[in-house]
Each structure stands twice: as C-alpha cells, then as structure tokens.
Amino acid sequence: MGELLTPAGVAAITGLLAAVSAAFWKLIERADKRAAERDAATNRRIAQLEQKIAVLEKREDLYLRRIYQLEGHMRAHAIAPPDMHGWPP
C-alpha cells in the first residue's frame, strides 16, 4: 500500500483516472451523437406520418361529404336506400 503513496504511485493512479475519465467522456459523446441521430430520424418519420394522416383526413372529409350529399339527394327525391343485406361480402 505504501508504494501507491509514492510520487510515482500517485502519478500512475492520476494517469489511470485521467485515461478512464477521457474514455468515459468519449463514450458519452458517442452515445449523445447516436441519440441525436435517432431523434432526427424519428422526427423525420413523424413528419412523414403527419403528412400521410393529413392526406387521409382530407380523403375522409371528402368521402363523408359525398355520402351526406347522396343521403340528402335520396331524401329530397324520396329514393329508398338500397338493400345492404350481405354487404360487405
């Protein structure tokens, strides 16, 4: 134990701690970089999905509007709704 407290022992321990600390910070930097890349990729994917959702919502609005127009036309002209028995096939 006494040889660790010599100037050479203290320098060796200090050097080892500095090396471990440097390696640790490199690992942290790499992990941060990977996390940032994953976040950027996730944000891009979210933006793509939001665009797809917007398109689907517009289509849904259009289809619903057309269905309501058709129902209104059928009521205005006293057209009986078709028999939907067995639908969907």
DSSP letters, 10-57, are HHHHHHHHHHHHHHHHHHHHHHHHHHHHHHHHHHHHHHHHHHHHHHHH
Average pLDDT of the chain is: 92
Is residue 1's pLDDT more than 70? no
* Pairwise CA distance, residues 66 & 75, whole Å: 14
Query: Per the domain annotation, does 47 fall within a domain?
Result: yes
Query: Per the domain annotation, does 86 fall within a domain?
Result: no
Instruction: Please report the pLDDT score of residue 11 as a whole number.
Output: 87
The helix (H) or strand (E) run that includes residue 63 is: helix 7-76
Query: Per the domain annotation, does 87 fall within a domain?
Result: no
Q: Domain range spanning residue 48? A: 2-76
For the entire predicted model, the pTM comes to 0.57
**What is the number of domains present in the chain?**
1
Identify whether the C-beta of residue 4 lies closer than 8 Å to the C-beta of residue 13.
Answer: yes
Query: Per the domain annotation, does 82 fall within a domain?
Result: no
